[in-house]
Amino acid sequence: MILETLIIVAVIIAILLLFMILIIKNKAITEKIKMFKLKMLLMLRKDEEAKKYALKIVDIYPNNYLAHKFLGELYEKEGKINVALDEYIKVVELKNDEYEMHYKVAQLLQKTDKNEEAIIMLQDLLKMKPDYVDATKLLGSILYDEERFKEAISVYMNGLRYNPADYELYYNLGMTFTRLNDFQKAKEYYKRAAIINSCLYNGQYNLALIAMIQRELDEAERHLQRALQEEELEPMIYFYLAQIALLKDEKEKALHYINLALELDKSLEEKISKQPLFLPIQDRIRIPNEPSRKVKITLSKKERETNKYLEEMYNLVDSLNNGGANKIEEENQLEEIIELENENEKERE
């Protein structure tokens, strides 16, 4: 009797377990079917319908990280960045090895001026996946923007251990060492970047400015000639080529370059008028009547800031330099004064 009872109980338990397994399987199948429908709606670009359906899915299946991910993408597309962030953070919480989501969260945190939170997110991501080069670049860039240059250098250097052929890491190191006024190191990393990517024209421009700061005019001229492929930089390249030509006492060459610079960017007129170096050719410089051409902005904010910093550093060094340019300027001015005095004396005679 007892044995029969035990057998009946065992059978009932087995049936219940089987029933539970079927329910779980059915729930999983239902969830997969719903996700398939959601993907089809997204594929057909029915965004509003897809969003409503995704909200239903996360309500029934709150741990479905893919539904949260799709919701985040839909909200981001609508420009609702903070709501999208909430959905992406849920994805990270539900699936910690979803590295792309860590990166996406960091990007949006930076976009919403939450740099400190973005830094923490990227540091955690790089602990899990140290070879994630995009995360390295973004972290370095945020630290650069925060003017935490030494920390940015440490991040880029660590990135090179896993991605030694990535020219952008060398290029970013060049820009960061520039901001620390370590021009020798900056030069080294710009050159390494240029070896890997010969089309890195802004790197050539920065090398030229460093060479000018160090009064290496021939080297500066070579780098400027190589940088001419970067349309956005053309006016300033010709401006500096004209300066180099004057420093070498090549007035005709300087005149050719400065007129080219003005044809491309008329606003350089003010900059030229403030440079005593241009006095010997001032009266022969052509100021164009036509407005400057519109040039597409291709350089990043970081690149433009670094360029500006180098240009200001060169101007500072140049103004403090008692030899070189100032000496030539003084000699040229003296010659002009003597010539004018001689002419006036002849007229009086």
Query: Does 46 map to a domain?
Result: yes
As to burial, measured by CB atoms within 10 angstroms (0-12 exposed, 13-18 middle, 19+ buried), residue 129 is middle
Q: What is the pLDDT of residues 305-314, one digit of tens each?
A: 999 999 999 9
Q: How many domains does the chain have?
A: 2
pLDDT of residue 333: 47
Query: Does 89 map to a domain?
Result: yes
Domain finish residue from 287, 303, 328:
287
pLDDT of residue 349: 44
Query: Does 72 map to a domain?
Result: yes
DSSP 99-162: HHHHHHHHHHHHHTT-HHHHHHHHHHHHHH-TT-HHHHHHHHHHHHHTT-HHHHHHHHHHHHHH
pLDDT of residue 290: 79
Query: Does 304 map to a domain?
Result: no
Query: Does 190 map to a domain?
Result: no
Query: Does 251 map to a domain?
Result: yes
Contact status, residue 98 vs residue 114, Cβ threshold 8 Å: no
Number of C-beta neighbours around residue 280 at 10 A: 20
Cα–Cα distance measured from residue 253 to residue 238, given in angstroms and rounded to the nearest whole number: 11
Query: Does 138 map to a domain?
Result: no
The residue type at 43 = M
Query: Does 86 map to a domain?
Result: yes
Q: Which residues contact 249 (CB under 8 A, 6 or more apart)?
A: 328
Six-digit token string for 333? 């001015």
The residue count for the chain: 349
Its domain, for residue 45, covers 39-93
Q: What is the pLDDT of residues 309-341, one digit of tens each?
A: 999 999 888 777 644 444 445 445 445 544 544
**Which residue matches tokens 């923007």?**
145
Cα–Cα distance measured from residue 275 to residue 266, given in angstroms and rounded to the nearest whole number: 16
pLDDT of residue 46: 86
Spans in the chain with pLDDT lower than 70: 1-29, 321-349
pLDDT of residue 330: 46
Domain finish residue from 287, 307, 328:
287
CATH number of domain containing 55:
1.25.40.10
Contact status, residue 249 vs residue 217, Cβ threshold 8 Å: no
Q: Residue 255 region, left (φ>0) first, then alpha (ψ -120 to 50), else beta?
A: alpha
As to burial, measured by CB atoms within 10 angstroms (0-12 exposed, 13-18 middle, 19+ buried), residue 240 is buried
